[in-house]
Amino acid sequence: MSMHALEKALVMAERAAARLERLDIAAGDASARPRAANDPGLPTRPAVRSSRRLIIDLARLEGRGLISPRRPVSRLSEELRLIKRQVLAAAFPPEPSAAAGPNGAPAGNALAVTSAVDGEGKTFIALNLAISLAIDCDTHVLLVDGDVLRPALFDLLGLESGLGLIDVLQDPTLDLGTAIAATNIPKLSLLPAGRQTAFSAELLGSRRMRGLMREMAGRYPDRMIIFDSPPLLAASDSAVLAHEAGQVLIVVEAGRTSEATLSSALAMVDDCPNVALLLNKVSPAVSDWDFGRIYRAARYRKPPGR
């Protein structure tokens, strides 16, 4: 990717989020580290009870360019460090009450990873971020396949989906723990999209979905809940997960996503409290410094009262 294209991407991010205030977080701040589960600053909560355990093929992860516990140090893992610091800082601030937001606002430990359109790499980013947090930051992570119309997470992992999010939404008597699966990667659990129905889109946009998201984030305040969310411009209900999450990460494909498309996507999450952009599929010729510069320039929070 040329430097001209890189500069254009920066301008695009700044224009599209012109009404938002830049969020500055000091690297290495202790506030960016999650609180331990036994920290007196957090209420005592039950652990996530998974009814099954899935074995992730680590060789498959490595073969597909994903982060693996066997190879925790790589260019990709280094690039994710900046993102992880800021995600954790927003999820676990010095004052625990700040993460929940005022008047029942979405909790900061719920992160929706999305994109403007399909194919920009959001599932790849969501999975890598979840694994990286679990193996590097001593953080328990629940990764949810929330793209119920076109689920891709379990295909990427080479796993059978089974009972999942849609099943829990359809059946109020079904306990969330029966759908969550533990994995052979310590501190990483998965919640599949579930069985497809003719009403999957409606269920995603339902009041029960909103309640379930807040229940997950509030029930386990010491862990990250990451949603692989539908593309924002894919359907009318696609922004539901983003609106109910305390943080939104929009993956933008370098050289493909137009300024108009990105602006339309950002307009759908205009009232979300914490929105960031991540430029994906950048040419290897672009340095790590440029990657960080793009991410920092695109990370904002709306000013209070707006």
Segment 179-188 shows an average pLDDT of 94
Q: What is the DSSP letter of 68?
A: B
**Is the Cβ–Cβ distance between 163 and 179 less than 8 Å?**
yes
- At 260-269, the pLDDT tens digits run 999 999 999 9
SS3 state of residue 71: strand
| Residue found by looking up tokens 């493909």 in the block | 256
> Is the pLDDT confidence value at 256 over 70?
yes
188-226 in b/e burial notation, b at 16+ Cβ within 10 A?
Answer: bbbbbbbeeeeebbebbbbeebeebbbebbbebbbbbbb
DSSP code of residue 82: H
126-177 per-position pLDDT tens digit: 999 999 999 877 789 999 999 988 899 999 999 988 899 999 999 989 888 8
Percent of the chain predicted with pLDDT > 70? 71
CA distance 277 to 221: 25
Res. 281: pLDDT tops 70:
yes
What pTM was estimated for this model as a whole?
A: 0.77
- Quick one: average pLDDT of 194-207? 82
Give me the pLDDT at residue 97, please: 55
What pLDDT does residue 179 have?
93
Instruction: Find, among 76, 224, 210, the residue nearest to 139 by Cα.
Output: 224
Q: Which amino acid is at 20?
A: L
> What stretches of the chain show up as alpha helix (H) in DSSP?
3-16, 58-63, 75-91, 96-100, 122-136, 153-157, 165-170, 200-204, 207-219, 240-244, 259-268, 288-297
- Kindly tell me if the per-residue pLDDT of 306 is higher than 70: no
Q: What residue ranges define each of the domains in the chain, with the CATH number in brackets?
A: 3-23+107-301 (3.40.50.300)
Higher pLDDT, 133 or 98: 133
Question: What's the CA gap between 136 and 149, in Å, rounded?
Answer: 31
Residue 281 phi, psi (nearest 5): 60, 40
